[in-house]
Amino acid sequence: MIEISHITKAFNEQQVLNDVSAVFEAGKTNLVIGISGSGKTVLMKIMNGLITPDKGNVYFNGRDFYSLSREEQKALRQEIGMLFQGSALFDSMTVEENVMLPLNMFSNATKKEKLDRVNFCLERVNLKGVNQKFPGELSGGMKKRVGIARAIVLNPKYLFCDEPNSGLDPKTSIIIDDLIIEITKEFNMTTIINTHDMNSVMEIGEKIIFLHKGVKAWEGNNNDILSAKDENLTSFIFASSFLRDARDAMVEKMVK
Amino acid sequence: MYWKELFRQMTDIGVGSAFIVFLVSIFIGAVTAVQTAYQLYGTPFVPASYIGLIVRNTIIFELAPTFTALILAGKVGSNLASELGSMRVTEQIDALESMGVNTESYLIATRIIGAIITIPLLVAIASFAGISGGYIATALGDTYSIEDYIRGIRMDFDPFDVQLMFIKSFAFAFIISSISCYMGYYVKGGSVEIGKASTQAVVYSCIFVLLADYVIVALLL
């Protein structure tokens, strides 16, 4: 479980996050949604220690990340996997080397054990026979899957995904969503996903937090969201007339 | 210590630059020999062996360390800045940090140490190649003999000259690698900013190399 408490962050004069608190539960896909510039990525980077908040705390199963020593933070980071928006694979390394990197850094396993683990993770994300390929030779969806394989290779307790579907076609997006939810359940991870993909919101949003101008404006799940009254949220989710019509049809069906 | 990354950097900086440094130094040595011979031609009071002496001292004192550093500021400096810059903007550095990797040690220290180990070796190659270039130019010309050139090369040799060359090369290696890593590591923005960082890395490296060249010479000679 991850708990964030009164997170506040400003860059120069610009307030990016203002007193954001939330609890993200283990074994669930927790979504943080909001328009571009609402503070989602900054919040995620604060949660995994890449940006220090001006105020507030981040608790990983009760351990306050920003009160830990550097060594303790380093140890805790090994329990965190992160999938970046652009996958952030190392261009000079093969797929195998990319996935093996965290093992090389933090594991005392033998080379064979590491290779077995890499192959297990690559198979888990449905990638086979790409070990010796370089990131430049992969499609966007494959890169995301390699990113997920790298994120889970150390068997993390916490998984952060920053816009895992950006730049992907709808079909590949669904594959990535399914994969994330499967992995979350299988390994009982606390998964936090930044997204503005409405399909993801409706399909895998077991817990949803809506950020608007750096403030938590709404909290609920994919069932509650249809009947949410927050104007900013509804205008964000049902931005097009097509989606508004679809919502009305769904609500009508539920009422009947 | 990240040995694998250190050796990768040493290979990239050292092996990757050896050919261009060797080639440029050969020609610099040859041109220095020809031009020195041209300037001394017909002077009755200066022995022909002084051509070798002047080539040796010019190369060891100045051309090998400084010219090599300027070449590497362009080749290695821009490469380091653009590599780290693109790693920054594509979140690869964030990815390493999120894994708990100390990116300053992994990315910057390995590059600086790699440069400090390999650039003096490249300077040594450059001085050998430069003196050899002078020898080749002597062999190809007919103004003075190879024996004169060899005699000049061996005349009044002071080991401190070589020490000075290595002192310069260590300083230049640190300057080039640290400035370039700084420019790349702290880049913000996109491809335009990476290009600017790369250019600034080369420009500042060259300026500080020349400044350090003067300071070292002024202090040690």
Q: What pLDDT score was predicted for residue A54?
A: 95
Asked whether B57 and B155 are in contact (CB, 8 A), the reply is no
Q: What pLDDT score was predicted for residue A244?
A: 76
Q: Give helix then strand counts, H and E, for chain B.
A: 11, 0
Contacting residues of B for A48, CB less than 8 Å apart: 98
Q: What pLDDT score was predicted for residue A66?
A: 92
**Residue B81 Cα distances to A224, B19, B54, B112, angstroms:** 49, 21, 37, 12
Instruction: Please tell me the pTM assigned to this model.
Output: 0.85
For residue B11, name the pLDDT band (cuts at 50, 70, 90).
Answer: very high
Query: Is A80's CB within 8 Å of B98's CB?
Result: yes
Q: Which amino acid is at B193?
A: E
* B113-152 tens-digit pLDDT: 999 999 999 999 999 999 999 999 999 988 889 999 999 9
Contacting residues of B for A50, CB less than 8 Å apart: 94, 97-98
What percentage of chain B exceeds 70 in pLDDT? 100
* B55-78 tens-digit pLDDT: 999 999 999 999 999 999 999 999
Query: Is B100's CB within 8 Å of A75's CB?
Result: yes
Closest C-alpha to B37, from B148, B132, B127: B148
Closest C-alpha to A84, from A158, A177, A164: A164
Sign of CA dihedral B209, B214, B220, B221: positive
Closest residue on chain B to A48 (Cα): B98
Q: What pLDDT score was predicted for residue B45?
A: 83
Query: Is A86's CB within 8 Å of B91's CB?
Result: yes
- Report how far residue A244's alpha carbon sits from residue B65's, in angstroms, rounded to the nearest whole number: 70
Q: Is residue A246 part of a domain?
A: no
Q: Is residue A234 part of a domain?
A: no
Residue B104 pLDDT more than 90? Answer: yes
| pLDDT mean over B27-35 | 95
Q: Is residue A248 part of a domain?
A: no
| pLDDT mean over B14-41 | 94
* B160-208 tens-digit pLDDT: 999 999 999 999 999 999 999 999 999 998 999 999 999 999 999 999 9
Q: What pLDDT score was predicted for residue A252?
A: 80
In a mutagenesis test of the A interface, which of B8, B79, B98 is the best target, namely the one with the most A β-carbons within 10 Å? B98
- Report how far residue A216's alpha carbon sits from residue A32's, in angstroms, rounded to the nearest whole number: 10
Q: Is residue A179 part of a domain?
A: yes
| pLDDT mean over B92-105 | 90
* A82-132 tens-digit pLDDT: 999 888 999 889 999 999 999 988 888 999 999 999 999 999 888 888 999
Closest residue on chain B to A153 (Cα): B99
CATH number for the domain spanning A162: value is 3.40.50.300
Interface of B with A in 91-110 (CB under 8 A): 91-92, 94-95, 97-101
How is residue B107 written in tokens? Answer: 């990315």
Q: Indicate the pairing of strand A158-162 with strand A190-195.
A: parallel
Q: What pLDDT score was predicted for residue B13?
A: 94
Domain, as residue range, for A82: 2-225
Residue A217 is given by DSSP the state E
| pLDDT mean over B9-19 | 94
Alpha helices in A125-219 (DSSP H): 140-152, 170-187, 198-204
Which residues of chain A have a pLDDT value below 50?
A: none
Distance of CA A37 to the CA centre of its chain: 17
Q: Is residue A255 part of a domain?
A: no
Number of structural domains found in chain A: 1
Region of A188 please: left (phi>0), alpha (psi -120 to 50) or beta. Answer: left
Q: What pLDDT score was predicted for residue B99?
A: 86
Q: Is residue A131 part of a domain?
A: yes
Q: Is residue A252 part of a domain?
A: no
In a mutagenesis test of the A interface, which of B11, B84, B96, B99 is the best target, namely the one with the most A β-carbons within 10 Å? B99
